[in-house]
Amino acid sequence: MDRRILITNMTNDIIIEKDLPSTSVLADIEIYNSTTVIFGDYATTKMWNFETDIMVDLGFGGHHDIEINYLYDTFITLGIEDVEIEGETYIHDLINEYSINGTLIRSISTQDFVDPSSVCPFENTVNVSIDLTHANSVFFDEEEEMIYINCRNTNTFHKIDYETGEEIWGLGEYGDFTMFDIYGNERDYLFFHAHSLEKIDGNRFLLFDNDFHNKTNAINKQSRLIEITFDEVTMEAQVTREWNSPSEYFSPIWGDCDLLPNGNLFGVFGYTMDEGTETGSKLVEVDTDGDITWLFESSTEEEILYTIYKVERFRFTPIVSAPSITTHSEESIDFEWKIRNNFKSNTDFEGKYHIYLDDHLLLSEEIVFPKYWQSVDVNYSLVDLTEDTYDISIIVEDESGHLSCDSAFYTGSYKFELDPNGGNIISLFLGIGIPILAGVSVAVLIYVKRK
């Protein structure tokens, strides 16, 4: 197998390519900051600066997922342990936290909150051990100081107190919530062998529902992108958004689901099978109406099957909207821009912005890019302008000094003209830019040779 990390543009042209050792068993890839990603496997975790091409070994390994704990400058990943229970060997997962120098700080076992009675009836085994939990994603919420872990084989994810390691609740087949599908019907199950648990605000999660080992219909093959909204007071949870893929997208393993800044869902159907035939990977962006707005289908050459483990959408520079006018009068004109960071993160990042009128700097201020790829509004009021034509623009700077105006997709500049009779705007139009939907993707790409 050939394994590599690719950074591509939206037309799937390769911008940066990094080959990985053929012995590598890929776990995950996460964006660390505007220049760096982390990735790893059972043996090691590495930090790669794709601008300088410097690779650093962090000195620890894990499986399936790596989560960055910016609050304490640590990393959270997954390990495994064999547990003997009544003559059977069960594989339990560990939530392992490491310092940046590779020291194991602590470990939390799923044995503390997952009982052997929740074993999947479809005989998930590794060698002779029973693969009880098969955790595949872990998420740290720094505001709550909670850890969320998704256990694939029990169709349940859990909320864990970061300080004590104790379970707060579970959501899924063996959880504590009354659950409802998107139509409001009460269900015993909301997902089957899901991947890519991700929190997107205070009470919403995204999941990639593989629909594998479906207990209600064992031959059902409809992988989905789903959003789950939960209420910790009523202890109710409901699917509030979903995209049901066609049968040729069925992905029994792997998968990812992200929310993009434009409100669309980004899905990774990384190891697709249709009627038992491997068909390569499919990446889709779907809008709120369920329509596909962007699609990538990997080619399947005669001897090669292209499969993708994980993809993250990002930009090389901050995302800046075109300015809008919130109010205007004879005395002033108020402008507003919506600003987002280059990438999705579970923490806030610092940056700066600079507002110009023509070539004159009006204001420079620090800015905080909110977590979960949410936007922040920047407002500015212009006063005492005379009749003339003006350019107003904002330039946004990320934590590494990348400037939004260096992007081909920069949209923060406007030209406007004042009416000689009272300062009203008589024309307003973009000076430069196209919609902010464009970007690049960073992917772990695996080439699997067919026999």
> 321-349 pLDDT, tens per residue?
989 888 888 788 999 999 999 999 999 99
**CB neighbours of residue 361 within 10 Å:** 10
**What mean pLDDT comes out for the span 143-164?**
97
**What mean pLDDT comes out for the span 191-207?**
96
Specify the pLDDT at position 423: 55
Specify the pLDDT at position 332: 86
Does pLDDT of 394 surpass 80?
yes
Specify the pLDDT at position 1: 64
Specify the pLDDT at position 306: 74
Specify the pLDDT at position 263: 95
Specify the pLDDT at position 340: 96
CA distance 181 to 283: 25
pLDDT tens profile 396-412: 999 999 999 988 778 89
Domain 2-315+438-449 CATH class label: mainly beta
Specify the pLDDT at position 427: 59
Does pLDDT of 227 surpass 60?
yes
Specify the pLDDT at position 419: 72
Residue environment code for 364-399, b if the CB has 16+ CB neighbours within 10 A, otherwise e: eeebebbbbbbebebebebeeeeeeebebbbbbbbb
Pairing of strands 319-320, 332-340: antiparallel
Specify the pLDDT at position 432: 45
3-state secondary structure 286-348: ECCCCCEEEEEECCCCCCEEEEEEEEEEECCCCEECCCEEEEECCCEEEEEEEEECCCCCCCC
pLDDT band at 135 (very low <50, low <70, confident <90, very high): very high
**What mean pLDDT comes out for the span 91-109?**
96
Q: Which of 118-132, 145-159, 243-257 has the lowest mean pLDDT?
A: 118-132
Does pLDDT of 355 surpass 60?
yes
**What mean pLDDT comes out for the span 162-182?**
98
Specify the pLDDT at position 437: 40
> 311 versus 180: which is more confidently predicted?
180
CA distance 134 to 119: 11
Specify the pLDDT at position 196: 95
**What mean pLDDT comes out for the span 370-390?**
92
Which of 36-40, 83-87, 235-239, 328-332 has the highest average model confidence (pLDDT)?
A: 235-239
* Residue 27 near residue 12, CB atoms below 8 Å: no
Q: Which of 34-43, 51-60, 304-313, 370-379 has the lowest mean pLDDT?
A: 304-313
Specify the pLDDT at position 443: 63
**What mean pLDDT comes out for the span 120-131?**
80
Does pLDDT of 449 surpass 50?
no
403 to 34, 354, 390: CA distances (angstroms): 12, 10, 22
- For residue 325, give the nearest of 405, 388, 416 by alpha carbon: 416
Is 319-430 a CATH 2.60.40.10 domain? yes
Computed over every residue of the chain, the mean pLDDT equals 89
Largest CA distance in the chain: 90
Q: What are phi and psi for residue 158, nearest 5 degrees?
A: -130, 145
Specify the pLDDT at position 44: 87
Specify the pLDDT at position 67: 96
Show Cβ contacts of residue 226 under 8 Å, excluding neighbours closer than 6 positions: 190, 191, 206, 207, 208, 209, 239, 241, 242, 243, 257
Q: Find the length of the chain.
A: 451
The pTM assigned to this predicted structure is 0.92
304 to 296, 300, 301, 449: CA distances (angstroms): 17, 6, 5, 5
**What mean pLDDT comes out for the span 152-167?**
97
Domain ranges of the chain: 2-315+438-449, 319-430
Does pLDDT of 123 surpass 90?
no
pLDDT band at 445 (very low <50, low <70, confident <90, very high): low
User: What amino acid occupies position 253?
Assistant: I
- For residue 100, give the nearest of 47, 168, 48 by alpha carbon: 47
